[in-house]
Amino acid sequence: MTTTRSLSFLLALGILAPATARAQLVQEFQPPKADCCLQFSAQRLADELQDWNQLGRYYADDARLVAAGAVKGRVVFMGDSITDGWDLAKYFPGKPYVNRGISGQTTPQMLVRMYPDVIRLEPSAIIILAGTNDVARNTGPETLQMIEDNFRGMCELAARHNIKVVLCLLTPVSDYTKSKQTPHRPPADIIQLNGWLRSYAAEIHAQVADYYSALVDSRGMLKEGSSDDGLHPNARGYELMAPVAEVALEKALQ
């Protein structure tokens, strides 16, 4: 490889920076903490990418529920970490509710999970809480229309299989804790998506679980004391959400 080609190659990899690049020298060397054994970290990432939508997360439990047969009044809670961390048996005792939340997920990932994690379980209803990770670009940048289309896809699949739909308004975030959430999840974006969700729910005759109103304070932030990190509800937060979900589901299943 010639010297010119070698330099071009290194520049492309980011190993060398152009002479005009802004200086990045630091006074103290404090790099991010690296895991032991980079080859194992790379292999772990490669393994995770084989199941980008995480269809394996509930694969065994889905098979168990399908084999056991449909249950009257079954509801699937579809969502991200806010749903994933929700102990449904504690907050809805005796209810045949199934948790299918996966931490970090976005709406395109949930759309792919509709058949294995929802439809094959033959639920009476699905309650969808999603979108905050789309706003945070967890799987890359998206336009509002892209997010809307993913919701449309999930709702149309549910309707095709006679599954009632409850759409949840995104929960607010706050900067009250050590973790500052608004830079990654601007409140204006949350409000905009919530506005569309409410109008779309009316369009398709779906119920709305308004978690936003239950959790927001006078400053437009997630109520202090209802979260330990400004994003995920704690026990107090879930206590405020549970009756909102219950009322919406009762109306959907009537």
246 residue type, one letter: E
The pLDDT assigned to 227 comes to: 97
* For residue 218, pLDDT beyond 70: yes
Q: Two tokens at 208?
A: 């709305």
Percent of the chain with pLDDT over 70: 85
Strands of the sheet containing 97-101, edge to edge, are 97-101, 75-79, 125-129, 164-168, 207-209
The pLDDT assigned to 15 comes to: 42
Q: Which of 10-24, 35-49, 81-95, 185-199 has the lowest mean pLDDT?
A: 10-24
55 residue type, one letter: L
Query: Residue range 75-104: average pLDDT?
Result: 98
C-alpha span between 16 and 6 (Å, rounded): 11
| pLDDT tens digits for range 15-29 | 444 444 455 566 777
* For residue 70, pLDDT beyond 60: yes
Confidence of residue 236 (pLDDT cuts 50, 70, 90): very high
C-alpha span between 139 and 67 (Å, rounded): 33
Confidence of residue 38 (pLDDT cuts 50, 70, 90): low
Query: Residue range 212-220: average pLDDT?
Result: 97
| pLDDT tens digits for range 126-152 | 999 999 999 999 999 999 999 999 999
pTM as predicted: 0.83
On whether the 59-253 domain is CATH 3.40.50.1110, my answer is yes
| Residues with Cβ within 8 Å of residue 173, at least 6 apart in sequence | 132, 181, 182, 185, 187, 190, 221, 222, 230, 231
The pLDDT assigned to 232 comes to: 98
C-alpha span between 85 and 137 (Å, rounded): 21
**Better pLDDT: 38 or 210:** 210
The pLDDT assigned to 111 comes to: 98
| pLDDT tens digits for range 40-68 | 767 776 776 776 878 999 999 999 999 99
The pLDDT assigned to 24 comes to: 59
The pLDDT assigned to 31 comes to: 74
C-alpha span between 195 and 174 (Å, rounded): 19
The pLDDT assigned to 26 comes to: 64
Domain ranges within the chain, ordered by starting residue: 59-253
Cross-strand bridge partners of residue 233: 227
| pLDDT tens digits for range 146-194 | 999 999 999 999 999 999 999 999 999 999 999 899 999 999 999 999 9
| Residues with Cβ within 8 Å of residue 117, at least 6 apart in sequence | 55, 58, 62, 76, 78, 100
* For residue 84, pLDDT beyond 90: yes
